Chains A and B, each alone.
Chain A
Amino acid sequence: MRDALPLIWRKIPERYTLLGSHCNNCKTDYFPQRTICPHCRSKGKLVDKQMPREGKVYSFTEVHSGPAGFQHETPYFLAIIELPNKVKVLSQLVDSSKDKVKVGAPVKMVFRRIFADGAEGVIAYGFKFKVVN
């Protein structure tokens, strides 16, 4: 599944730039993008909206048993980031020293390689977050 080219290609705006959705009816932001506003359903008016690129660590874990495609970087930090608009994003935390990775730590989005499917496979890029000093 990981090397599914259509999946990687069609999510480029979301994965590269944190492009989410905003409902003009209930004024709620969503990431990832949605087709239907879960609050307003048929009354919703969803439009594209850039998500803030800075937030805070809401929860984190250090993954010691990484899945295929991530084993070369194991152990790594995985976190749920809370953005100022209350949207939560699940992402790796990179370029951050262990003592700085804490719940509440300020973080910002960075653009990184997510995984590569072998030497000749598809390379997936997207967002990760790092702790801001």
Chain B
Amino acid sequence: MRKVSIIGGGLTHFGEHWEISFREMVAEAGAKALHDSKIEGKDIQAIYGGCMASGRLLGQEHVGALIADQLGLNPLPSTRCEAACASGGVALRQGIQAIASGMYDVVAVGGVEKMTEVSVEEASLALGGAGDQEWELFNGATFPALYALMAKRHMLEYGTTEEQLALCAVKNHANAVHNEYAQFRSPITLEQAMNASVIASPLKLFDCSPISDGAAVVILAASDVAKKFVDEPVEVIASAQASDSLALTGRETLTSLKATQIAAKDAFKQAKITPKDVDLAEVHDCFTIAEILAIEDLGFFPKGKGGKATEDGETALNSTVSVNTSGGLKACGHPVGATGVKQAVECLWQLQGKAGQRQVKDAEYALSHNVGGSGATAVVHIYKKL
């Protein structure tokens, strides 16, 4: 297979953007990514776009063609990928495969979601589609409730505390302060997080990622041509994906995401490195418990020790492993289809040394981890400076 690199990325600001439309966000992120990659539209041969719920949220389907249209890139083949909150990560993987196969040299991968066009209740119902509509949502489950059920078991089996969960959010807000694209750039304190209103016990408001609008685009190129465009491409040295039962009740355990464990194992094998080699990781913290599960399931810390590691500051910027330098889903925002692609943009800029005040020192290896639903899809990518 041909090796694949990222040559550039572009983001819109993540947040509540009533003033900008779905298609305008796509165009903005796309134009920025082309500029960052120093390429022109004519260099691109295909497009893959991640988007979860535009039908429910906007009444708009056929997003693949819409993206090509808005970027002025008709008649290129353009394909939408949907895997709930992992739509972006899955689109990225499709783009990588399209180049690795030898079919294309240069591909654009986008991710987009516009979630504030409808009420919070309607957006929550749309997001609920990431779980099992017939047997979870029907019976009164919400997404915070599903992750709360996992948190409860993790606390019971490993002694993880509500404070340790809250500290993930405190750390991610601290990182987002230095990210101009982040939805929340205000630091929060442990007391604020602990005193916030309960959403689904033990999860409180600051344990939950927000409803956001945003778009992200990366440009991929075969590694053998990447340096024709930019001086510092970043190679994708692993791309792995796994699935699990849609509903929580079908899982062997509630304290691990098996799909993450399997995708991570595959990814580290492809990359020929170990978790200890990773300098920074963008992990899927849709809820704080999800970050604890991720740092354990990816192999950064032993099972059950993620809470303690967070409390000890081992996931803070420039510590054992810098986790969610962008602010993560919690503080950077979570426009669901865009998240997996935004994670890749953060890894790109960190490895290029362009991350400003949130720069990880001497970053050599970065990892991104994108989850769909309550863990029914997991996508892991590992990157290295070429």
Q: Given known contacts A78-B141, A92-B140, is B128 in contact with A67 (CB within 8 Å)?
A: yes
Which single member of B149, B156, B198, B247 contacts A78 (CB below 8 Å)? B149
In the assembled complex, which residues on chain A have CB atoms less than 8 Å from the CB atom of B248?
80, 88, 90
Contact of A11 with B by CB under 8 A: yes
Cross-chain contact B200 with A90 (CB below 8 angstroms): no
Cross-chain contact B134 with A61 (CB below 8 angstroms): no
Cross-chain contact A1 with B140 (CB below 8 angstroms): no
Interface string of A58-71 (1 = CB under 8 A from B): 11111111111010
In the assembled complex, which residues on chain A have CB atoms less than 8 Å from the CB atom of B140?
63, 66-67, 70, 76, 78, 92, 114-115
Cross-chain contact A90 with B139 (CB below 8 angstroms): yes
In the assembled complex, which residues on chain A have CB atoms less than 8 Å from the CB atom of B124?
67
In the assembled complex, which residues on chain B have CB atoms less than 8 Å from the CB atom of A68?
121, 125
List the A residue with the shortest CB-CB distance to B132.
A90
Cross-chain contact A62 with B200 (CB below 8 angstroms): yes
In the assembled complex, which residues on chain A have CB atoms less than 8 Å from the CB atom of B250?
88
Cross-chain contact A60 with B149 (CB below 8 angstroms): yes
Cross-chain contact A92 with B142 (CB below 8 angstroms): no
Q: Would you list which residues of chain B between 99 and 124 have a CB under 8 Å from chain A?
A: 121, 124
Cross-chain contact A65 with B200 (CB below 8 angstroms): yes
Cross-chain contact B152 with A64 (CB below 8 angstroms): no
Cross-chain contact A78 with B145 (CB below 8 angstroms): yes
Cross-chain contact A90 with B121 (CB below 8 angstroms): no
* Assembled-state Cα–Cα distance A79/B254 (Å): 13
Which single member of A2, A58, A78, A87 contacts B138 (CB below 8 Å)? A2
Cross-chain contact B156 with A63 (CB below 8 angstroms): no
Contact of B269 with A by CB under 8 A: no
Which single member of A58, A63, A88 contacts B145 (CB below 8 Å)? A63
* Assembled-state Cα–Cα distance A32/B141 (Å): 16
Contact of B153 with A by CB under 8 A: yes
Cross-chain contact B135 with A103 (CB below 8 angstroms): no
B144 to chain A, nearest CB (A): 7
In the assembled complex, which residues on chain B have CB atoms less than 8 Å from the CB atom of A58?
153, 254
List the A residue with the shortest CB-CB distance to B203.
A61
**Majority-rule SS of B interface residues:** helix
Which single member of B128, B199, B203, B247 contacts A90 (CB below 8 Å)? B247
In the assembled complex, which residues on chain B have CB atoms less than 8 Å from the CB atom of A79?
149
Q: Which of B142, B153, B202, B203 has the most CB of A within 10 A?
A: B142
Contact of A124 with B by CB under 8 A: yes
Contact of B197 with A by CB under 8 A: yes
Q: Which of B121, B153, B200 has the most CB of A within 10 A?
A: B200
Contact of B133 with A by CB under 8 A: yes
* Assembled-state Cα–Cα distance A88/B135 (Å): 12
Contact of B136 with A by CB under 8 A: yes
* Assembled-state Cα–Cα distance A128/B134 (Å): 15
Cross-chain contact B200 with A67 (CB below 8 angstroms): no
Q: Would you list which residues of chain B between 187 and 206 have a CB under 8 Å from chain A?
A: 197-203
Interface string of A2-15 (1 = CB under 8 A from B): 10000100010000
> Could you name 30 residue pairs across A and B whose Cβ atoms are closer than 8 Å?
A1-B125, A1-B133, A7-B134, A32-B135, A59-B149, A59-B153, A59-B254, A61-B145, A61-B201, A62-B200, A63-B140, A64-B199, A65-B144, A67-B128, A67-B137, A67-B140, A68-B121, A76-B140, A78-B200, A80-B149, A80-B249, A80-B254, A88-B248, A88-B249, A90-B136, A90-B247, A90-B248, A92-B140, A103-B156, A114-B139
Given contacts A1-B125, A60-B149, 6 further A-B contacts (CB under 8 A): A59-B149, A78-B140, A78-B200, A103-B153, A103-B156, A114-B139
Question: Chain B interface (Cβ within 8 Å of chain A)?
Answer: 121, 124-125, 128-129, 133-142, 144-145, 148-150, 152-153, 156, 197-203, 247-250, 254
Question: Chain A interface (Cβ within 8 Å of chain B)?
Answer: 1-2, 7, 11, 32, 58-68, 70, 76, 78-80, 87-92, 103, 114-115, 124, 126
